[in-house]
Amino acid sequence: MSKSPFIESIRNTIRTKRYSLRTEKAYLYWIRQFIIFHGKRHPKDMAEFEVEQFLTHLAVTKKVSPLTQNQALCALIFMFRHEVSKELHNMQFQFAKTPKRIPQVLTHHESLSVIHQLSGIHQLVAGLMYGGGLRVSEALRLRIKDFDLERNTVFVFRSKGQKDRMTLLPENLKEDIAIQIERVKDIHEQDLVDGFGMTSLPASLIKKYGQAAKQLYWQYLFPSTTRCEHPYDGYTCRHHIHQTSFRKALKKAVERANIPKRVTSHTFRHSFATRMLETGHDIRVVQELLGHDDVKTTQIYTHVLGKNKFGAISPMDTNR
- Same structural domain, 178 and 274: yes
- Residue 242 annotated to the active site: no
Which of 34, 55, 82 is where one domain is finished?
Answer: 82
**Domain boundaries, position 23:** 5-82
- Same structural domain, 44 and 134: no
- Same structural domain, 156 and 276: yes
245 assigned to some structural domain? yes
Amino acid, res. 229: E
Q: Which of 141, 143, 270, 292 is catalytic?
A: 292
- Residue 269 annotated to the active site: yes
Q: Write out the chain's pLDDT in tens, 320 residues.
A: 468 899 999 999 998 887 888 899 999 999 999 999 999 999 999 999 999 999 999 988 998 888 899 899 999 999 999 999 999 887 776 665 656 677 889 999 999 999 999 999 999 999 999 999 999 999 999 999 999 999 999 999 888 777 899 999 999 999 999 999 999 999 999 999 999 999 988 776 777 777 888 999 999 999 999 999 988 788 899 999 999 999 999 999 999 999 999 999 999 999 999 999 988 899 999 999 999 988 888 888 887 775 554 456 656 566 65
- Same structural domain, 52 and 132: no
What does the pLDDT read at residue 1?
Answer: 46
- Same structural domain, 40 and 130: no
139 assigned to some structural domain? yes
- Same structural domain, 294 and 207: yes
Q: Which of 81, 266, 284, 303 is catalytic?
A: 266
Question: In CATH, what number is assigned to the domain containing residue 139?
Answer: 1.10.443.10
- Same structural domain, 178 and 244: yes
Which of 35, 55, 82 is where one domain is finished?
Answer: 82
Q: Which of 160, 248, 252, 281 is catalytic?
A: 160
- Residue 292 annotated to the active site: yes
- Same structural domain, 107 and 255: yes
Q: Which of 238, 240, 269, 270 is catalytic?
A: 269
What does the pLDDT read at residue 316?
Answer: 54
- Same structural domain, 163 and 289: yes
Q: Which of 122, 135, 143, 230 is catalytic?
A: 135
| Residue 228 burial (10 A CB sphere; 0-12, 13-18, 19+) | exposed
Q: What is the pTM of this model?
A: 0.79
Torsion 254-260-263-269 (CA) sign: negative
Amino acid, res. 47: A
What does the pLDDT read at residue 297?
Answer: 84
* Partners of 240 in the β-ladder: 223
- Same structural domain, 20 and 145: no
Q: Classify 275 in phi/psi space as left (phi over 0), alpha (psi -120 to 50) or beta.
A: alpha
What does the pLDDT read at residue 44?
Answer: 93
Measure Cα distances from 49 to 63, 83, 89, 95, 179 in Å: 20, 18, 10, 15, 58
- Same structural domain, 76 and 127: no
Q: How many domains does the chain have?
A: 2
What does the pLDDT read at residue 66?
Answer: 84
* Partners of 166 in the β-ladder: 155
90 assigned to some structural domain? no
Instruction: Give the count of alpha carbons within 13 A of 30, CB side only.
Output: 24
- Residue 256 annotated to the active site: no
- Residue 160 annotated to the active site: yes
- Same structural domain, 61 and 17: yes
